[in-house]
Amino acid sequence: MRDPRPDPGRPLETEYRPRHPLDVARTLLFLRRGANDPTMTVSGSVVWRASRTPEGIATLAIRGTSPGVVRGAAWGPGREWALAQLPDLCGAADDPSSFDGSRHPLIAESHRRNPGLRLARTGLVFDALACAIFEQKVTGMQAFAAWRRIVTWHGERAPGPTPRPMFAPPSIDGWRDVPSWAWHRAGLEPPQSKAVVRAARRGDALVRAVLAAHDGEAVDRVLVSQPGIGPWTSAETRIRALGDPDAVSVGDFHLAHEVGYALTGERVDDDGMLRLLAPWAGQRQRVIRLLYASGIREPRRAPRLHPEDHRDR
């Protein structure tokens, strides 16, 4: 079948040569929301990402061609912005030089084994905020499925020779205009869909305020002032959009258990997690990422939850 999209033409291309080790896949794939995320996929050694930039939609193909070289190719009206963002997406703004992993042997070993782990910064605040709202108080499986449906139905087909059909998220106006029946059919609960729509009503001002904030606490004050947005959602937004090395998603269903188990062999609650992470103040998100990279997981205690599907009711 002929591709109905206009010919995107030749891409713009660039090379990024980081001055530090870089694991492209480990750094970027943290941003993917499930294996079938319509905004992000992997084909061979290439990471593909579709986004809605301030200059329009863009598709970015990223490949580490050799040690110390990352090649990027971009299609679409936002391609120049996407290529300019490539270094930050690969962690150029992330500075781990002051990080001391020696306080715990597991963190020290994970840091040694993962020198190319960097914290990505997308610069796309509203996309990160909407994605985080989707993940409030539900399983990852539910959130990823709802994200896939809404972005596919109401986003915009990504330009370029993507390995499968990909879509950029809706614009801020587009988020506001998603009909109520679509949220229901996608499997997103009313509190989350209403929070996305309310945020979209102030979307541009919200994005400006977040980007103007001087630190994580200031970002939190901006975001949690909005109905339906709490500290967990703010932290998740800071992690993805701003690459915040200190953000901790307090209130997460699994995170405190995983951190506690990895560092002490026992579950802890949120307060216990914060006490354990306190020695790394300023770098707590990096510690969390290194713990995940270590592969240490709390043993499963019960069968996987299979949520009931209410969409046909």
pLDDT above 90 for 232: yes
Asked if residue 222 is part of any domain, the answer here is no
CA distance 283 to 117: 13
What pLDDT is recorded for position 1?
45
Distances in Å between the alpha carbon of 125 and those of 35, 171, 204? 22, 12, 10
Q: Which amino acid is at 307?
A: P
CATH classification of the domain holding 45: 3.30.310.20
pLDDT above 90 for 304: no
Asked if residue 107 is part of any domain, the answer here is yes
% residues pLDDT > 90 (the chain): 87
Over residues 28-41, the mean pLDDT reads 96
Asked if residue 289 is part of any domain, the answer here is no
- Paired residues of 48 in beta bridges: 41, 61
Mean pLDDT, rounded, of the chain? 93
Over residues 170-183, the mean pLDDT reads 96
Asked if residue 210 is part of any domain, the answer here is no
Structural domain count of the chain: 1
pTM score above 0.85: yes
More confident residue, 101 or 5: 101
> Which of 272, 251, 247 shows the shortest CA–CA distance to 261?
272
Asked if residue 177 is part of any domain, the answer here is no
CB 34 within 8 A of CB 24: no
Asked if residue 77 is part of any domain, the answer here is yes
> Which of 70, 107, 101 shows the shortest CA–CA distance to 88?
70
Asked if residue 144 is part of any domain, the answer here is no
Asked if residue 28 is part of any domain, the answer here is yes
Containing structural domain, residue 69: 14-113
